[in-house]
Amino acid sequence: MMKPDCLHRFERAPDSSSLPEKFTFPFYYSPHQLAIQAAKEIQHKYLEPNPWRHNFGLDPSIDGFVIGKMFGVLVVKDSNNELGYLAAFSGKLADANHHEGFVPPVFDLLDETGFFKTEEQEVNDLTIRIEELEQSEELLRLTKDLSDARTNGERSVQEFKAHIRSQKAIRDDKRKQGLSSLSESEFTILENELKQESIALSYRLKEIKSETAKIIEKFEENLNLYLKEINGLKEERRLMSNQLQQKIFKHYTFLNHRNEEKSLLSIFNELGIELPPAGAGECAAPKLLQYAYQHRLTPVTFAEFWWGASPKSEVRKHGEFYPSCRGKCEPILGHMLNGLEVDENPMLQNPAADKELDFVYEDEDIIIVNKPAEFLSVPGKNIDDSVYSRIKVKYPEATGPLLVHRLDMSTSGILLVAKNETAHRFLQRQFIKRTVKKRYVALLDGIVNDDHGKIELPLRVDLDNRPFQLVCYEHGKPALTHFEVLERRNNETLIHFYPSTGRTHQLRVHAAHQLGLNAPIKGDDLYGRKGERLHLHAEYLAFVHPSTRRKFKITIPSPF
């Protein structure tokens, strides 16, 4: 059997005895050594030379918009049980879908001979026709004619109303003079004449309004007839776009290890999602698996890495490995991995199963817990075991919501618990008003040059990749963190964080993001490099006690 065009052989023979027992769980993993080796070879052979002159933001001599890119490598076995690997990039690279050494897209939207380009051009032709009609002199003339008709009509009505008012004043004078100079019968005749004049003017006003309305209606009909053509073309374009989209989704089909095939549309429809998100199926992982299945290659292990300058919103570091995105890839990979033995989803495993809670203080109103790292504060989607659930068991008589605030599962340190509703309300009010003083200690993977300062980066959840957070100035919530460097050692920085707000992953993103400290917290499995633990600890808390009304301070030194 001939070697597939995109299958690479390792430059240095890998140790086949160290193969992973199961395929990589793509949404949470540490890259296997084979994947790391494959990634380095691809980087050395294709990315560092950069033959496409794509501006990754790494070479100042290359012009153009800076676009970092996610790449993936898939280690495979061929029919002879020999190891090799495939490589892919997410989306397009240098405005093209096909490049030497990389697998093709699952469905090529840039294929000039395919139906998409032809039908896309038909949609574009409609758009051009619509723009021509919307920018035409005829539309300007019709719009102006209608506007002038309305203005002139309103002027005619107002002028006649003014005439009516002046005639009323004249009639009032005649009526006043008649009262003093005319006999009763003569005045009656005058009064009738004046009423008839008033009635005649009122009828004439109605006639003017009617004539004006007819003129305006005529110009409205002319304009609406023109707009009807535009709106008809827009509706035709909408239907054509929807039909083209549906056609793409149906032709966009994915295999799995059992050689079963499903369309992109059916994959998402089965999950109750009407339409796949934009870009679904264009990431590296689906491309790699599709090519492997098409060429009867057996997937062994997988990894994705970022190449280029960091984006403005996400935390992505050049050369670092990252999990697949959940919103776009999880439904697709859920189908494509069917039939493969895949590592267990660690997010379904209880990390606190063998851990005990350390109760460091307790009175009638509050409990202070030294929460271990990798221990949920409250029950999660898949795991119930948490500080909250254990306290409910330990204190069944306690009332109220109990937890006053939360710590990330991976963060250790001080967690304040209220034993009754009154204490909870009193303490929570302090957190809402931000009068509680908090201090965290963290060990950062990198050197922070400033001794102290503040980070203001608004945050929101990444809707396509929960629970990751994005820096977003348009829709993000304000997030403020003050910091103070304690020590610099061995390319690491020991630091104090003083958060003024409590956004999800605030300290982790503020540390790792390029516009923050650009140094992720050591052991951060989301925004840095996975380690034995996240080196972030809530070490100090100060608040007013709900009963004594005195300042209560507690410090629990960090374990690192």
Which residues are part of the catalytic machinery? 408
Is 21 strand, coil or helix?
coil
Rg of the chain over CA atoms, in angstroms? 36
- Within 10 angstroms of residue 478's Cβ, the number of other Cβ atoms is 11
155 Cβ contact list (under 8 Å, min separation 6) = none
Q: How far apart are CA 39 and CA 42, in angstroms?
A: 5
23 CB-contact burial (10 Å; exposed 0-12 / middle 13-18 / buried 19+):
buried
Q: b/e map of 31-54 (b: 16 or more CB within 10 Å)?
A: bbebbbbbbebbbeebbeeeebeb
The secondary structure element, H or E, covering residue 544 is strand 536-544
Residue 494: beta bridge partners? 443, 487
Dist. CA 286–CA 333, nearest whole Å: 7
Q: Which two tokens stand for residue 379?
A: 């029950």
H or E element: which one contains 483?
Answer: strand 480-489
Q: Are 72 and 90 in contact (CB under 8 A)?
A: yes
Residue 371: strand, helix, or coil: strand
What secondary structure does DSSP assign to 309-329, as a single string?
SPPSSS---TT-EEPPPHHHH
Closest to 56 (Cα-Cα) out of 280, 259, 311, 262: 311
Q: Do residues 88 and 71 lie in contact, with contact meaning Cβ atoms separated by under 8 Å?
A: yes
Q: How many CA atoms lie within 13 A of 407 on its CB side?
A: 29
Cα separation, 298 vs 340, in Å, equals 9
CA 208 – CA 443 distance, rounded (Å): 82
β-pair type (459-461, 551-555): unpaired
DSSP letter at 23?
A: B
204 to 152, 157, 211: CA distances (angstroms): 17, 10, 10
For residues 89 and 54, is the Cβ–Cβ distance under 8 A?
A: no
Distance CA 443, CA 373 (A): 14
Q: Are 459 and 470 in contact (CB under 8 A)?
A: yes
End-to-end CA distance of the chain: give it in Å, rounded.
55
- CB burial class (10 A; 0-12, 13-18, 19+) of residue 17? exposed
Q: Which amino acid is at 34?
A: L
Q: What is the DSSP track for 27-54? A: TS----HHHHHHHHHHIIIIITT-TT--
The half-sphere exposure of 77 on its side-chain side, counting CA atoms within 13 A, is: 10
Q: Is 364 helix (H, G, I), strand (E, B) or coil?
A: coil
